[in-house]
Amino acid sequence: MFHIALLGVLITVGIGGGFGYTGQRVVVEGQTFSNNLGSYDSFNPGRFFRDTNLVPYNIKIDKFTAKYETKIADALGTPIDYQADVTEQVQGKTAKSTKLRVNDPLEIGGTQVYLLGNGYAVDVTVRDGQGNIAFKDSVPFLPQDSNLTSLGVIKVPDALPTQLGMIGFFYPSATSLGTGALTSNYPDTINPKLTLDVYSGNLGLNDGVPRSVYNLDLDGLKPIASTPKAGSAQPLEAPLVLKPGQTATLPDGLGSVQFNGVKRFVSLDVHHDPSQVYVLVFAILIVLGLLTGLFVPRRRVWVKAVQGDDGLRLEYAGLARGEDPTLERAVDDLAKKHLSTLGSPVSSDRRKVSS
């Protein structure tokens, strides 16, 4: 049973890997994730995966709550608990509210949705030089340290008269260092600030080359509000520093940037493995087979009938795999039970042969 079940695990894992898939998606508070290929930030399908394997469902992140340590000085700011209030809905069924926690996945549409990470998304409105809204969205910024100092990129390809690109740092609890630079000393939003290095020029988004949304290629871009860098063109102004609700005007009539506020985002990991139940069954059989092999003695017993001058003689013998101190008693018990069924008396002639 042990060896057959082990083979079963290998087969089912292989089949499950072929038909399963995993995917990741970053979702900001108030936004909805739909289970289709276009909604994933990254997707890893199995060999036999087909688009039709995706069960249509939606998950809306209503609110994300993080609790941090506030009493123990040595652990100040350490995360205690994460929780996302979500609304789930499978196509054709009624929507319902539930909670998503770390190590407590959401079971929906044959998948398990795990809460992996979280961070801040800055809500920004960018107006171009003509006063039109060229960009308005909540942009996830990636955490850089335990106090959630976060780095992000904002690209505004529709701005006129020229495209705009920004590299920003968000500080949930901003404080100034001795050098004048900012840092965050606590992961919650006690004193949120956003700094932006702004560049103008062609962002290269129409070149047909895939580009990361978390990276800004500065080749060919003109700094208009940034920290001066040796060997490069000097910016027109210093980096923008904004608090929620503030607006900064860009030089040369290139528009303005408004920091509307901040939201939380969560990182979701979607996992589908159709072989989980079968793997569990075979794993249980493996354990049972192993326990049986460990605790049930494995013996071979022979019964030999020899015709002698004094009649029929029965000889009993046993062989154990490894040491078995109860082997002799087991052979004696077998002989007694066997002879009693034959109605024959038990002989006292008992011999033990070892090798």
Q: Say if 104 falls within a structural domain.
A: yes
At which of 234, 253, 282 does a domain end? 282
Q: Are residues 157 and 242 in the same domain?
A: yes
Total length of the chain: 355
In a domain? residue 133: yes
Domain holding 212, by residue range, is: 121-265
Q: Are residues 229 and 336 in the same domain?
A: no
Residue 236 and residue 215 share a domain: yes
Cβ neighbours of 126 (radius 10 Å): 24
Q: 294 or 253: which carries more pLDDT confidence?
A: 253
182 and 277 inside one domain = no
Does residue 203 fall inside a structural domain?
yes
Looking at the structure, tell me whether residues 253 and 209 fall in a common domain. yes
pLDDT tens profile 173-188? 999 988 888 999 999 9
Q: Do 14 and 74 reside in the same domain of the chain?
A: yes
Are 131 and 241 contained in the same domain? yes
Q: Do both 152 and 172 map to the same domain?
A: yes
Segment 99-108, tens digit of pLDDT: 999 889 999 9
* Beta strands per DSSP E along the chain: 21-28, 32-34, 42-45, 57-68, 79-90, 96-101, 106-108, 111-127, 133-143, 150-156, 164-171, 174-176, 182-184, 193-200, 222-225, 240-242, 247-249, 256-272, 299-308, 311-320
Task: Establish if 292 belongs to a structural domain.
Answer: no
- Let me know whether 261 and 149 are in one domain: yes
pLDDT digits (tens, 9 = 90+) for 190-228: 999 999 999 999 998 887 787 888 899 988 899 999 888
7: pLDDT strictly greater than 70: yes
pLDDT tens digits, 278-324:
999 999 999 999 998 888 878 888 899 888 888 888 889 999 887 88
For the stretch 324-327, contacts whose Cβ atoms lie closer than 8 Å and that sit 24 or more positions apart, written own/partner, are 324/297, 324/299, 326/297, 327/297, 327/299
Same domain, yes or no: 69 and 203: no
Is there a single domain that holds both residue 139 and residue 260? yes
Domain count for the chain: 3
Has this prediction a pTM greater than 0.85? no
- Whether residues 253 and 193 fall in one domain: yes
Res. 354: pLDDT tops 50: no
